[in-house]
Amino acid sequence: MSPLQFDIAVLPGDGIGAEITAPAVELVKEAGRQAGLDLRFETLEAGAGLYARTGTAFPEENFQRAAAADAIYLCAMGLPDVRYPDGTEVGPQHDLRKRLNLYAGVRPCRTMPGVPSPLADPRAATIDFVIVRESTEGLFAFPRGHDLDDEEYAHNLLRVSRTVCDKLFDFAFRLARRRHRQGAGKNLVTHVDKANVLSSQHRARQWFDAVAARHPDVRAAHQYVDFCAFEMVRRPWMLDVMPTENQYGDILSDLASALMGGMGMAPSADIGDRHAVFQPCHGTAPDIAGQGKANPTAMILSGAMMLDYLGDKANQPAACAAAATLTRAVEAAYADGTLRPMELGGSSGTRDIVDAVGRRLAG
């Protein structure tokens, strides 16, 4: 097997999944081809639509094939009317985090010149930070609580472990070093917590400090999560990499997507020691599915994150170069301000955006 061969499992899922995944795969393929990569894609079925037809949301065979790939490229799953018997939405992608142990939820927030940010400050053009959301434990690890029968009280448990926190923090420091971010907030890892109120968060902060001491070349800081939300609006250009607890990361990520201009702009990755899933932050957008209106930018940028991950993991700079090429093509497509996705009030549909990025990629 060539060192530049990578197997990628593609899960288009539901809603707008099919219509934005296919063209995004073509762009990832082209960026890879230019860098001399041998990318092999296999499309697999899973999601609410499949569940409605067959009673199975994620066939075990497809799961095993996805788990055997070098990376998983997923759009979104779930449809409002398709539910499990207990009333919860069919979203088998959530199980991937647990089953594949994807503890680091990477949510970059970068403004794109040419795309308006809701912040009027001109410095908003330089927003470039990453939330690293712990995704396997914390408050969301126990969604059912322990006392659903109780008439008076309801509770959930916020539990974090040193093993996972240590890995998450290490990941954050490594990421800060690799990013080579410029500007005021550069080379900074900020632990976002609630150490003043919750003892588990106080412990996590101590563990963070111990990991920070092993990365003296990167600046380390703490911020309370409420103040962090304030700072993300007041001067987000001062932020760089922010590891945080599961639920805090969930909430702050939506705020971050809004800073980027819209749901269709925000990419993400869920990364573990052995597996990784790359998908846009948005859902299946059933209200606009099949109309050619969906913004494929987040899906394309998630593909760039995937190329960068593959290159970093296999120590193949060519794949990281392909990631940079694809990201630059997206930026170039938006730079003059004429490309404006429909969700941002413009008239550029899926095809217009894909074609614009394709043209920049072609030279």
- Closest to ligand ATP by CB, 254 vs 273, is 254
The dihedral formed by the CA atoms of 226, 228, 230 and 234, expressed in degrees to the nearest 10: 170
The residue whose Cβ lies closest to ligand ATP is 283
Q: How far is the CB of 95 from ligand ATP (least distance, A)?
A: 14
- Closest to ligand ATP by CB, 115 vs 165, is 115
- Closest to ligand ATP by CB, 15 vs 138, is 15
Q: Alpha carbon of 213 to those of 77, 169, 187, 223, 255: distances in Å?
A: 40, 11, 15, 18, 30
- Closest to ligand ATP by CB, 191 vs 293, is 293
Q: How far is the CB of 342 from ligand ATP (least distance, A)?
A: 7
State how far the Cα of 97 lies from the Cα of 35, in Å rounded to an integer.
Answer: 30
Q: How far is the CB of 322 from ligand ATP (least distance, A)?
A: 23
Q: How far is the CB of 76 from ligand ATP (least distance, A)?
A: 6
Q: Which two tokens stand for residue 324?
A: 């940079």
Angle at 41 between CA 172 and CA 58, to 5 degrees: 80
- Closest to ligand ATP by CB, 290 vs 337, is 290
Binding interface with ligand ATP (CB under 6 A): 16, 76, 78, 263-264, 282-285, 287-288, 294-295, 343
Q: What own/partner pairs with CB < 8 Å and gap ≥ 24 does 50-58 have?
A: 51/82, 51/90, 51/92, 52/79, 52/82, 57/90, 57/92, 58/92, 58/95
Q: How far is the CB of 283 from ligand ATP (least distance, A)?
A: 2
Single out the residue of 15, 44, 10, 14 nearest to residue 25, CA to CA: 10
